[in-house]
Structure 1
Amino acid sequence: MAKMLYHNQLIDRENVIDIEDRGYQFGDGIYEVIGVYDGNPLMLDEHLERLARSAREVQLTLPSSISDLKNNLEKLVKVNGLTEGIIYMQISRGAAPRWHEFPNADVSPITVAYTRAEERMTDVEDQGATAVLTEDIRWLRCDIKTLNLLPNVLAKQKAVENNAIEAILHRNETVTEASASNVFIVKNGELYTHPANNFILNGITRRKILQLCDAIQLKVNETAYSIDDLLNADEVFITATKLDVIPILKVDEKVIGSGKPGEITKRILQEFRTLY
């Protein structure tokens, strides 16, 4: 039987949840998804650094050190024999009687983590995909990776119903990110992506792309851009854990650029693939 991490112990995986777990009742918790490539969790330190930041932002005390958590996640990958896939991990504020305010200090946060086999999306990365536009109706702290994901779920469902891979979000006319990924556009040889403020999640893959672009001297402008800029870009691509880099060839009914994966997007994808 596959193992899961629960309260810092590796146990047989069980579908058990306390009905008064605040993650279940309020979405009161934080999470991370880490890609595993050839048995290695990619950029694990960066994910755990972001987890610690999310915990600070929602005033949640981590139940164990980042070092112990890292060791346990690495053990989880090995004991489950995972080669390709993801680690899903969440920490809720704990189980306590249902009141909106924080529970007493003696209530311990609950850590849960498991692995899932998942193949790389190499065909989609090479061939490209389509996206739809939808209004960004999320709260104003999208920089915190919390369990409150219903707006993202609704946006992703719109994409699925339109045979698209993603829903690209916008606040009024400004593009922010997508339901589960960050968005880049290319215009005249330069990249543009929304700045890492409270309106987007600063994706770990996004951050790595910025580093790779700096290394290969591709200019990236972290600035807000409009729906019109998106639709008239030379290239568009999205980035996320395990999605990696996926060219977007059409948004709604508007073909992007040549309608094929662009040269700059392909170069960035090639550079990213050297990481694993």
Structure 2
Amino acid sequence: MPGPKDLDPSSSPRAMIGAELRYARERMGLSQTELGEPLFVSGSFIGQLESGTRRMQREYAVQLDVILRTDGFFTRHCETSAKSRYPEHFEEEAEAETFATSIRHYIPLLIPGLLQTPAYSAALFRAYRPTAPDSEIEELVEIRAKRGRLLDDPTKPLLMVVLDEAAIRRPVGGPAVMAEALRHVAHLMRRHRIIVQVLPFATGAHAAMGGALKYMEFADAPPLCFVDGLDTGKLLDDPATVARHALTFTLLQVSGLSSAHSLALIESVAQDYDHEEQPS
């Protein structure tokens, strides 16, 4: 029987819990699929818990302590890993993207959160919460800005975005805010940090008319998809569903402008917003 595993004290709580889960499962001689069966989850879900890609929920922690005979370890520690500053429907997705090696994202009407400027985010949050105090809006903007720092790493994750033309034409926050927001996207494109394609109005009907999607890949776990709507969202791990969403994103890319033409359009629209700001 293998000896106790040394845990890295610098690891995140979820990484530590995941490492302990893998150790306890292997100690019991169970595969990921076998461990998932009594929890009514897939083997890939167990793999995502072990890699830290997904946060352990208390309902699973309690059952795992019984199945793996871990004397309440997972129940005690899952509360630590559950702390999040994100809305409940979004927290798992936001945490998962920090582990992703690549992210593919499409939103019909917005510039994605990872690419937003503070002023653009503030305009959105104010529209969502017209009576909220300024302090609440400022906190939400700071949380979103911290997510954007994921792109401070020069190489990972690989971020591919299909940006709907509606997102660059709708003047969120006014012309000055939009000009700054689009120049930020263009700057990241020119630095070769992100890959962006604009899905033009001329495309007509397309594969994602039903809403937004995000497809994430990981180094040591199966891919995940996140679909969301108004104050709702769901992380999906069913292989067939994930594969279908991957195909949907590919179809969007095929329908979009090339990166070069997309960059030219984004910068041209930013310039148009600048002209709107100039006094006549």
TM-score normalised by L of structure 1: 0.26
Q: Which has the larger radius of gyration?
A: 2
TM-score normalized by the length of structure 2? 0.25
* Higher-strand-fraction structure: 1
